[in-house]
């Protein structure tokens, strides 16, 4: 009887051991070719999903998913068109000057009145007046002439009621032509004061 009980006990222990060992299948690591991440294989009897790996792949996916369309990126060589776009987007209009002159013309005075009205009606934190010249003359002379044009424009705006503290001046001389052509029509466009307004 004791032998039977002992054999029965050994048999029960053996069955329990086999059940425990076969019930807990090992998880294996599988590395797929071309991938640096390992995936865990789920045993057939465990229907639940294993959480995704903890490595942060958002940066990689963002790089891969980045748009390849470069039509919206502006080329540095296309600076002239970007200057024309900036002029078109300005809420106030440019004024033009006569050749080798920093005097404000009658037609420019009318434009400056409209510009001053806009600046008085809208809250503006800064206005940059850019002085520009055509390509004729030396670079040094054109820088000085561009500064005179910006200063004269600034004086007119101050006399129209704009606070002096918000107006800055800068001269670009002949460096940023609105029209790169080499004729009188282009030179007329390039002799100007341009406004950059910060709301």
pLDDT value, residue 199: 79
Q: If you search the block for the tokens 């296309």, which residue do you land on?
A: 78
167-173 and 126-132 as β-strands: parallel, antiparallel, unpaired? parallel
pLDDT value, residue 95: 97
pLDDT value, residue 22: 57
Cβ atoms within 10 A of the Cβ of 175, count?
A: 13
Cβ-based neighbours of 127, under 8 Å, separated by 6 or more: 119, 157, 162, 166, 167, 168, 195, 196, 197, 198
- Sorted by where each begins, the domain ranges of the chain are 78-198
**Tokens encoding 154:** 């600034």
Domain 78-198 sits in CATH at 3.30.1330.60
Mean pLDDT per segment of 10 residues, for the chain of length 199 residues? 63 65 50 43 46 44 40 41 50 94 96 94 91 96 97 96 95 95 95 92
The span from the CA of 179 to the CA of 187, in Å, is: 8
């Amino acid at each position: 009887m004791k032998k039977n009980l002992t054999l029965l006990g050994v048999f029960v222990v053996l069955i329990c051991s086999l059940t425990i060992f076969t019930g807990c299948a090992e998880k294996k690591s599988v590395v797929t070719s071309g991938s640096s991440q390992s995936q865990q294989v789920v045993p057939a009897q465990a229907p639940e999903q294993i959480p995704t790996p903890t490595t942060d792949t958002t940066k990689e996916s963002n790089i891969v998913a980045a748009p390849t369309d470069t039509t919206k990126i502006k080329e540095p060589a296309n600076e002239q068109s970007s200057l024309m776009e900036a002029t078109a987007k300005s809420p106030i209009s440019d004024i033009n000057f006569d050749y080798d002159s920093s005097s404000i013309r009658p037609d420019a005075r009318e434009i400056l009145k409209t510009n001053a009205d806009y600046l008085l009606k809208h809250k503006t934190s800064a206005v940059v007046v850019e002085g520009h010249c055509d390509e004729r003359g030396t670079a040094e002379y054109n820088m000085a002439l561009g500064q005179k044009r910006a200063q004269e424009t600034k004086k007119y705006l101050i006399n129209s009621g704009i606070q002096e503290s918000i107006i800055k001046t800068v001269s670009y001389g002949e460096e940023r032509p609105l029209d790169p052509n080499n004729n009188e029509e282009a030179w007329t466009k390039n002799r100007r004061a341009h406004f950059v307004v910060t709301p």
